[in-house]
């Protein structure tokens, strides 16, 4: 067997082992879901970070996948990848003090949380993380453009006019 084939096989095996290492983190998903929900309800969390979660939920719920769900195993992995990336970006935008406050409030071990987040980050390729981390800034910029364009009041006036004729 050539060196290239062995390297590819080893790379695939290492990737699979990394995913297996994710299993213990998956058992704590309900606890982390409560943490995310608590942070979403908190006014101190930037709207752009919340928008990333909404976008991920939309991707999962709409069913328009990059990899069709009919393809065994891979079909569900794209949904999982989108959710994991969205959660990672969401947590990146939370101030440490606020995160620690919520972890204490929900009795979540901070050290275990940090280990789990680090483990999830190791699953995500660095180039993908760099691209995805720019998303909240892009959302903020789009929001500012919409605000400066003053299109919001115009759209509202169109809606009000439509409702008054009905």
CB 88 within 8 A of CB 53: no
CA–CA separation, 128 vs 86, rounded Å?
A: 12
Residue 42 contacts by C-beta under 8 Å, 6 or more apart in sequence?
Answer: 98, 102
Cα–Cα distances in Å, from 156 out to 68, 80, 151, 163?
A: 38, 36, 9, 11
**Cβ neighbours around 65 below 10 Å, total:** 18
pTM: 0.64
Q: What are 130's two structure tokens?
A: 């760099």
pLDDT in tens, 97-154: 999 999 999 999 999 999 888 877 777 777 777 777 777 777 778 777 877 887 777 7
Distance CA(115)–CA(108), nearest Å, equals 12
Give residue-wise pLDDT tens across range 31-73. 999 999 999 999 999 888 898 898 888 888 887 777 777 777 6
CA–CA separation, 26 and 20 (whole Å): 10
Query: How far apart are alpha carbons 18 and 56 in whole angstroms?
Result: 23
- Two tokens, residue 127: 């180039």
């Amino acid at each position: 067997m050539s060196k290239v084939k062995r390297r590819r096989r080893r790379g695939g095996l290492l990737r699979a082992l990394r995913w297996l290492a994710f299993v213990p983190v998956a058992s704590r998903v309900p606890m982390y879901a409560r943490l995310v929900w608590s942070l979403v309800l908190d006014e101190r969390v930037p709207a752009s970070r919340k928008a990333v979660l909404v976008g991920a939920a939309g991707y999962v719920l709409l069913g328009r996948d990059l990899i069709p769900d009919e393809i065994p195993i891979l079909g569900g992995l794209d949904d999982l990848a989108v959710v994991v990336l969205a959660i990672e970006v969401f947590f990146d935008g939370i101030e440490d003090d606020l995160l620690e406050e919520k972890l204490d409030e929900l009795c979540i071990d901070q050290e275990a949380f940090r280990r789990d987040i680090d483990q999830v980050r190791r699953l995500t390729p660095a180039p993908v993380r760099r691209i995805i981390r720019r998303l909240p800034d892009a959302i903020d910029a789009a929001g500012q453009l919409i605000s400066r364009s003053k299109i919001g009041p115009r759209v509202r006036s169109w809606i009000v006019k439509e409702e008054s004729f009905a």
